[in-house]
C-alpha cells in the first residue's frame, strides 16, 4: 500500500544561473519595488554593491551588519530603519544570517523579500524565521517571511572559503537527510532529497579541491537549492533540534555544528535512511567519510562545547519532543552528543 503523505507549498520564483546577479534589479522591477532596503553581510559587500548600482535611486537604505542567529538588537534596528525609510521591498545578499535578518524585518512589517544567497544554508527557500534574545533562540514558520524571489548565482559562491563551503554543504545535507524520514514525506520531496544528496556528495569534494571550479560550484548550489526547498516543506527532526539548542543556548557556529552532529543522528536513525543506499554505501559512515574527506571534520569538543553541558543539552532536546522516526529519550540523545563531541567514525 502506498504511504500516505501531505504536500503543501507556497509559491516562490527561483532564478538560477551563473551571472544571474545581473538580473537582480530587473527582478526588483518585476516585483514593483520602488523603495528598496538592501541587507548584506560583510563578505558579500562587493556583490551587494553591484546590486546597489543597478538599483540606482530605487535603493533607499542599507544594512551592512548581520550576525548568526539574528540578535534581537540587530532585528530591532533594521526594522526601525525599514519603517523610517518607508521601504516597500527587502533585498538580502549573503548567507543565512543576512537572509535571517531580512526575515525578521518581513515578519514585523509584512514587506516582501528578494534573496540572493551566497552560502548553502537554504534559508532563502523557507518560511522559517529565527531570532535570539536573552540567551534563547525563538523560531517559527510564517509564509510572510519566505522570499518571493530567489536569485541563485553560483559565481557569488566562488569566494566562500573551502572549509566554510564544506561545513555549509554539510548543513544542506542535514536538511536532505532529515527530509527523508520526516512524517508523511511526499514522494516529490523524497525524490528531491535523494537527488540533493547525490549532487552534493559529488560536488562538495570538487569544490573543496578547487574552490574556483565553477562547474562544481554550480552543482553544489543546485544541491543547496534542493536542500532549501525540502527544508521549507518537510518538518525537521532530532538533528535540527540538537543543532538549534547548541546554537541558541551555547553559541556554537551554525554550519560547523551541523557538520559535527549529522553522522551520529544518521547512525541513530539509520534504519530509516534506506533511500540513500544507492548514493552513500551506508548513511552514517558515508556522511562521516564525506565530512572527513572535505575537511568539515571537528567534534563538538573542537567547537568549544563544555563536555559538562552534554547532559543538560540532552534533557533540553528531549523535553522539546522532536519529530523523529525512532523514539527519542535523554539517554539516546546523550549518546549521540557524546559521539558528536568526540567526533570518531560512527
**CB–CB of 326/271 below 8 Å?**
yes
**Sole binder of ligand NAD in the list 31, 43, 262, 339 (CB under 6 A):** 43
H/E element, 283 = helix 283-293
CA distances from 330 to 244, 299, 336 (A): 16, 20, 10
Site string for ligand NAD, 229-248 (x = CB under 6 A): --x-----------------
Shortest CB 97 distance to ligand NAD, Å: 3
Q: Which is nearer to ligand NAD, 60 or 221 (CB)?
A: 221
| C-alpha cell of residue 18 | 551563473
The neighbour count for residue 42, using CB atoms within 10 Å, is: 11
What one-character-per-residue DSSP string does 163-216 give? HHHHHHHHHHHHHHHHHHTSTT--HHHHHHHHHHHHHHHHHHHHHHH-TT-HHH
Residues 290-319 that bind ligand NAD (CB under 6 A): none
Least separation in angstroms between CB 27 and ligand NAD: 19
Residue 138: CB minimum distance to ligand NAD, A? 12
Instruction: Give how many residues touch ligand NAD by CB under 6 A.
Output: 30
Instruction: Note whether 146 binds ligand NAD by CB under 6 A.
Output: no
Cβ atoms of 60 and 91 closer than 8 Å: no
The kind and range of the H/E element at 294 are: none
For residue 290, the minimal CB distance to ligand NAD (Å) is 18
Contact in structure between 122 and 227 (CB atoms under 8 Å): yes
CB closer to ligand NAD, 60 vs 262: 262
Cα–Cα distance measured from residue 181 to residue 176, given in angstroms and rounded to the nearest whole number: 9
* Residues in 248-267 at the binding interface with ligand NAD, rule: CB under 6 A: 254-255
Taking every pair of C-alpha atoms in the chain, what is the biggest distance, in angstroms?
59
Q: At what angle do helices 162-180 and 238-250 cross, to 10 degrees?
A: 140
Q: From 196, 198, 165, 194, select the one nearest 291 (Cα to Cα).
A: 165
Q: Can you say how many angstroms the Cα of residue 9 is from the centroid of all Cα atoms in its chain?
A: 18
Q: Are 270 and 283 in contact (CB under 8 A)?
A: yes
Considering only 12, 79, 123, 149, the residue that binds ligand NAD (CB under 6 A) is: 123
Please report whether residue 219 would count as binding ligand NAD according to CB under 6 A: no
Q: Which of 27, 87, 100, 226 binds ligand NAD (CB under 6 A)?
A: 100
Closest distance to ligand NAD from the beta carbon of 331 (Å): 27
Residue with smaller CB distance to ligand NAD, 60 or 227: 227
Which of the stretches 84-92, 153-161, 205-213, 284-292 binds ligand NAD when contact is defined by CB under 6 A?
Answer: 153-161
Kindly state whether residue 149 participates in binding ligand NAD, applying the rule CB under 6 A.
Answer: no
Cβ(131)–Cβ(75) under 8 Å? yes
For ligand NAD, the binding residue among 37, 38, 55, 95 (CB under 6 A) is 95
Nearest-approach distance from CB 258 to ligand NAD, in angstroms: 8
CA distance 13 to 114: 9
Asked if 130 touches ligand NAD (CB under 6 A), the answer is: yes
Told to check if 44 binds ligand NAD by CB under 6 A, we report yes
Kindly tell me which of 95 and 346 has the beta carbon lying closer to ligand NAD: 95
* Contact set with ligand NAD (CB under 6 A): 41-44, 68-69, 94-98, 100, 118-119, 121-123, 126, 128, 130, 156-157, 159-160, 164, 168, 171, 231, 254-255
Amino acid at each position: 500500500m502506498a504511504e500516505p503523505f501531505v504536500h503543501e507549498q507556497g509559491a516562490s520564483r527561483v532564478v538560477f544561473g551563473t551571472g544571474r546577479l545581473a538580473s537582480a534589479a530587473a527582478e526588483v522591477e518585476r516585483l514593483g519595488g520602488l523603495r528598496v532596503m538592501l541587507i548584506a553581510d560583510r563578505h558579500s559587500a562587493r556583490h551587494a554593491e553591484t546590486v546597489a548600482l543597478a538599483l540606482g535611486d530605487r535603493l533607499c537604505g542599507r544594512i551592512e551588519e548581520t550576525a548568526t542567529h539574528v540578535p534581537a538588537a540587530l532585528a530591532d534596528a533594521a526594522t526601525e530603519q525599514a519603517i523610517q525609510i518607508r521601504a516597500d521591498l527587502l533585498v538580502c545578499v549573503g548567507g543565512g544570517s543576512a537572509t535571517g535578518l531580512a526575515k525578521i524585518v518581513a515578519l514585523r512589517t509584512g514587506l516582501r523579500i528578494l534573496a540572493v544567497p551566497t552560502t548553502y544554508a537554504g534559508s532563502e527557500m523557507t518560511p522559517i524565521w529565527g531570532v535570539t534574545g536573552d540567551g534563547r533562540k525563538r523560531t517559527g514558520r510564517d509564509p510572510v517571511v519566505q522570499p518571493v524571489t530567489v536569485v541563485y548565482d553560483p559565481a557569488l559562491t566562488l569566494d566562500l572559503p573551502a572549509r566554510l563551503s564544506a561545513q555549509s554543504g554539510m548543513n544542506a545535507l542535514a536538511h536532505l537527510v532529515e527530509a527523508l524520514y520526516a512524517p508523511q514525506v511526499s514522494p516529490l520531496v523524497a525524490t528531491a532529497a535523494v537527488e540533493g544528496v547525490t549532487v552534493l556528495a559529488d560536488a562538495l569534494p570538487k569544490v573543496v579541491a578547487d574552490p574556483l571550479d565553477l562547474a562544481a560550484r554550480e552543482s553544489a548550489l543546485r544541491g543547496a537549492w534542493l536542500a532549501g526547498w525540502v527544508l521549507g516543506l518537510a518538518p525537521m527532526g532530532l538533528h535540527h533540534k540538537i543543532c538549534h539548542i547548541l546554537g541558541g543556548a551555547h553559541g556554537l557556529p551554525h554550519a560547523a555544528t551541523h557538520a559535527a552532529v549529522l553522522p551520529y543522528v544518521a547512525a541513530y536513525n539509520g534504519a530509516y535512511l534506506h533511500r540513500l543506499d544507492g548514493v552513500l554505501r551506508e548513511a552514517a559512515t558515508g556522511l562521516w567519510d564525506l565530512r572527513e574527506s572535505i575537511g568539515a571534520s571537528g567534534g563538538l569538543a573542537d567547537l568549544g562545547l563544555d563536555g559538562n553541558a552534554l547532559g543538560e543539552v540532552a534533557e533540553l532536546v528531549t523535553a522539546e519532543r522532536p519529530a523523529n522516526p525512532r523514539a527519542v529519550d535523554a539517554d539516546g540523545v546523550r549518546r549521540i552528543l557524546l559521539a558528536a563531541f568526540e567526533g570518531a567514525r560512527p
